[in-house]
Structure formats: structure tokens, C-alpha cells
């Protein structure tokens, strides 16, 4: 039998240290691999927007009487996030996302007036949360999503980086902004898709205060030239009424040539006879690699039993001409807009002489940086 000499003990000790160090190094490499794998699927994106706005034939400032009381306010269409006079801010939007093979999440945060208007029903401190959801790709054909997500209805969206026009349409502004609930997306084949959802009342994203639920559905078709989506929403929205809201909406857009695109949105919304319907065309021309010009031509009609904007039976027409000049990640948007509102008891706008008028013409210069 060998005797354990001091030299042998030292050798054994050194071997133990090397073995432990090797295991520790392997563990560190495994942990680093996990971190690298996570970060490769993690993303940060978003946008920052700001603008200047002025009216050509309406008030651009507050008017006061001799007692110091406000008698008239700056004028703006009742449909636009971009509704403050002079130089103003939109919002900062930061989107954190993780897209794994089977699971993922999105945390979409907004800061500023545009974001606050979009999440108006959330309440502090959740009024910076635009979207917050997790999803599971159950299979190649089915995805389940749980949480707060932006609406599937309508042509336009909250983020100005994803809209061609900077101001928004009446149909978008008075349709849903966001939902909280669970939805299932189905890929039927390479062209067709569908979605079913159960959600809180519209725009109640933080929790459900009424114990009522809405149901949503979507049927979609897409190919390399464009897409079309038929959207449905049905459910009780308010605690004081058992009447359900029904909305049907068609959103579509197609590239007819390399330089010409045409979009269309139509919608009908009713709750116990009150509501609205409308249609908008979105032709857009790409004149060069850095510049495009587009028009929104919208007709918006409130129902005879009442509407959300100007009142029962009111009609609004909106023509918005917008340029998009792109410099890297920055898009500069000059925009001319004309609104005309009729069938109201009195004019809805006030001109610079403090007289009522049924129309308002305005100009916006916006800058949107996307990252």
C-alpha cells in the first residue's frame, strides 16, 4: 500500500481544484449560452414623435373675457391625436419583446399626450401601458395570446410610425383602441387566417370593472400584393345598460403597382340604435425612394338615435393630404387637413372672429423617429 505523502496530497488537492474549476467553467459557459440565446430573441423597438399645428380659419389660442374666464378654445377636429396648437409633443413609445420558438411576450409602453389619450381608461399607474401580453405558439397553426393588446378593428393604429397620415380618422378615434382578454389566432393556409377572442369591455385594459365580456372575431386573407380583414365585435360595454354593442369592420389594402397603393376601411357600430358608420379611402403614391404622398378621404355618419362625436344624425367629411419624407429612421410628415361637419344644431367650429363655422382647415408638420 502506498503511503500518502505530502507530495501526493498536494497532487490530489490540485486535481480537485482543477476538477471544480472545470465544472464551474462549464456551468458559466452553459449560463452564458442561455443568456445569449435569450438576448438573440429579445428586441427593443419604438418611436418618438413631435409636431407643429396651426389652423388657417380657426382659433389657435384660448380667448378670455374681461373677467378672465375662457370663452373659446383652440380648434381641432374631434378625431385627432394631433390636436394641440403650436409646437407640441406626441409620445415616446418603447416596445420590449421576446420571441421564442414556442412562447413570447410584448411589453409596449407609452409616454406623452398621444399615449395618455390612447390608454385613457386604464388609470394610473397603468396609463403608460399600451400593450402587455404573453403568447404561446401551440402549433404551427394556432397561437394563444393572453393580456392587453391593441384592437384588431380598423385601418389605423395608435403608433404614428405605423400610420401614413399623422392625424387620425373619425372611425379610428371612436372605434376601440385596445382590449384585455384571451384570443386564439388560426393559420388556415398560406393565404387565409382567423381569430376568436373573449375580452373585457372595450378599452378597460387594467381589469374588468363591470363583470361583462365582449366577443371578437376576424377572418383574414393576404397574399404578396396586400390583405383584407373582416372584423366583428359584440358585447355589453357599460354597467348601466344591458344593450350590447355590435361592430362590423372591413380593412383592406393592396399594392396595384410598385408605386401605387390603395387602402379602404369601412365600419358600422351600434348600441341600442346609437352609433356611427363610415368609409375611408387611402390612396398613396411613392414618388421616389425617400418621398411618398397620400390622401385620406373619409365620410363619417352618426346614427339618428345618437352618436359619440357631434350628435345624432351629424355628418363629417375629412380630407387629409400627407407627405412622407424619409431620412434614415426619421420621417417628416407635412399634412393639410380639411374637416366639414353638417346636420348639427349649431356650427361645431369657431373661426378667428369667434363666429361659428361648419368647416376647419389646418396644417401639421410632424417628425416621427422609429427605432
Cβ neighbours, 10 Å, residue 34 = 10
Distance CA(165)–CA(293), nearest Å, equals 10
Residue 20 has φ and ψ, to the nearest 5°, of: -65, -40
Whether 6 shows a pLDDT value over 60: the answer reads no
Under 8 Å between Cβ of 369 and 85: no
Cell numbers representing residue 95 in the block:
416596445
H-helix or E-strand containing 89? strand 86-99
* Residue-wise pLDDT tens digits, 146-202: 999 999 999 999 999 999 999 999 999 998 999 999 999 999 999 999 999 999 999
* Residue-wise pLDDT tens digits, 274-312: 999 999 999 999 999 999 999 999 999 999 999 999 999
Whether 119 shows a pLDDT value over 70: the answer reads yes
206: left (phi over 0), alpha (psi -120 to 50) or beta: alpha
CATH topology of domain 55-79+137-370: Porin (2.40.160)
* Look-up of cell digits 375629412: 318
Whether 101 shows a pLDDT value over 70: the answer reads yes
Strands 70-72 and 192-199 come out as unpaired
Residue 26 has φ and ψ, to the nearest 5°, of: -65, -40
Band the pLDDT of 363: cuts 50, 70, 90. very high
Residue 19 has φ and ψ, to the nearest 5°, of: -65, -45
Under 8 Å between Cβ of 358 and 341: yes
* Residue-wise pLDDT tens digits, 12-40: 555 555 565 556 656 566 666 767 777 89
* Residue-wise pLDDT tens digits, 324-335: 999 999 999 999
Distance CA(250)–CA(335), nearest Å, equals 26
What are the structural domain ranges in the chain? 55-79+137-370
Amino acid at each position: 500500500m502506498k503511503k500518502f505523502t505530502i507530495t501526493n496530497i498536494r497532487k490530489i488537492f490540485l486535481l480537485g481544484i482543477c476538477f471544480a474549476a472545470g465544472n464551474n467553467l462549464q456551468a458559466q459557459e452553459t449560463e452564458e449560452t442561455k443568456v445569449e440565446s435569450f438576448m438573440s430573441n429579445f428586441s427593443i423597438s419604438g418611436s418618438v414623435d413631435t409636431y407643429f399645428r396651426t389652423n388657417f380659419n380657426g382659433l389657435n389660442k384660448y380667448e378670455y373675457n374681461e373677467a378672465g374666464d375662457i370663452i373659446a378654445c383652440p380648434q381641432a377636429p374631434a378625431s385627432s391625436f394631433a390636436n394641440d396648437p403650436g409646437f407640441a409633443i406626441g409620445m415616446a413609445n418603447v416596445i420590449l419583446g421576446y420571441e421564442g420558438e414556442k412562447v413570447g411576450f410584448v411589453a409596449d409602453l407609452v409616454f406623452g399626450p398621444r399615449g395618455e389619450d390612447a390608454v385613457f381608461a386604464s388609470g394610473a399607474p397603468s396609463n403608460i401601458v399600451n400593450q402587455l401580453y404573453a403568447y404561446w405558439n401551440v402549433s404551427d397553426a394556432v397561437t394563444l395570446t393572453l393580456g392587453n393588446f391593441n384592437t384588431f378593428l380598423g385601418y389605423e393604429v395608435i403608433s404614428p410610425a405605423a400610420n401614413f397620415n399623422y392625424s387620425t380618422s373619425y372611425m379610428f378615434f371612436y372605434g376601440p383602441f385596445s382590449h384585455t382578454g384571451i384570443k386564439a389566432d388560426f393559420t388556415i393556409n398560406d393565404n387565409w387566417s382567423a381569430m376568436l377572442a373573449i375580452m373585457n369591455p372595450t378599452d378597460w385594459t387594467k381589469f374588468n370593472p363591470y363583470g361583462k365580456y365582449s366577443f371578437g372575431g376576424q377572418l383574414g386573407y393576404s397574399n404578396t400584393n396586400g390583405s383584407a380583414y373582416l372584423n366583428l365585435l359584440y358585447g355589453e360595454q357599460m354597467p348601466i345598460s344591458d344593450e350590447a354593442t355590435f361592430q362590423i369592420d372591413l380593412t383592406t389594402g393592396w399594392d396595384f403597382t410598385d408605386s401605387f397603393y390603395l387602402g379602404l376601411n369601412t365600419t358600422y357600430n351600434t348600441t341600442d340604435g346609437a352609433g356611427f358608420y363610415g368609409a375611408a379611402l387611402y390612396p398613396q403614391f411613392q414618388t421616389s425612394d425617400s418621398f411618398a404622398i397620400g390622401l385620406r378621404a373619409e365620410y363619417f355618419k352618426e346614427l339618428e338615435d345618437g352618436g359619440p362625436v357631434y350628435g345624432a344624425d351629424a355628418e363629417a367629411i375629412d380630407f387629409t393630404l400627407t407627405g412622407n419624407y424619409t431620412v434614415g429612421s426619421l420621417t417628416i410628415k407635412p399634412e393639410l387637413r380639411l374637416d366639414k361637419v353638417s346636420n348639427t344644431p349649431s356650427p361645431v367650429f369657431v373661426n378667428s372672429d369667434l363666429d361659428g363655422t361648419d368647416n376647419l382647415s389646418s396644417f401639421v408638420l410632424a417628425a416621427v423617429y422609429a427605432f
